[in-house]
């Protein structure tokens, strides 16, 4: 299933070939060939001509931030339990 097809507030498992952090025009590679999990949101944005979706609460530390992720294959782990 593609990331953009998953409903909001679902936990997903993502395999990323490279995770980068961009600050002041400089890209820093944080991780390569990694499997991680996070929660989908309704937030989308266009960055460098590519639409991305905001993933919150990543299972590994990405400098304490949420992650903007491209539309690629993910595993839907189900809805998030609220409260």
E runs forming strands in the chain: 10-23, 26-47, 50-56, 67-69, 74-79
pLDDT along the chain (83 residues), means of 10: 95 92 82 92 92 91 80 92 59
Residue 26 lies in a domain: yes
The answer to whether the Cα torsion of 9, 41, 4, 13 is positive or negative is: negative
Does some domain include residue 28?
Answer: yes
Q: Residue 71 falls within a domain, yes or no?
A: yes
Q: Give a yes or no: residue 7 inside a domain.
A: yes
For 30, half-sphere exposure in the C-beta direction (CA atoms, 13 angstrom radius) is 17
In a domain, 83, yes or no: no
Neighbours of 60 (CB within 10 A): 13
Q: What is the pLDDT of residue 2?
A: 96
Are the beta carbons of 75 and 2 closer than 8 angstroms? no
- The pTM of the full predicted model, rounded to 2 decimals, is 0.84
Q: Which domain holds residue 69?
A: 3-78
Residue 58 lies in a domain: yes
Look at the chain and report how many structural domains it folds into. 1
């Amino acid at each position: 299933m593609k990331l953009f097809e998953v409903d909001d507030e679902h936990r997903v498992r993502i395999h990323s070939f490279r995770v980068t952090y961009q600050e002041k025009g400089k890209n820093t590679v944080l991780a390569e060939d990694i499997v991680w999990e996070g929660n989908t949101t309704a937030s989308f944005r266009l960055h460098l001509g590519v639409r991305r979706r905001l993933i919150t609460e990543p299972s590994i530390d990405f400098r304490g931030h949420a992650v903007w992720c491209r539309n690629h294959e993910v595993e839907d782990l189900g809805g998030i339990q609220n409260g």
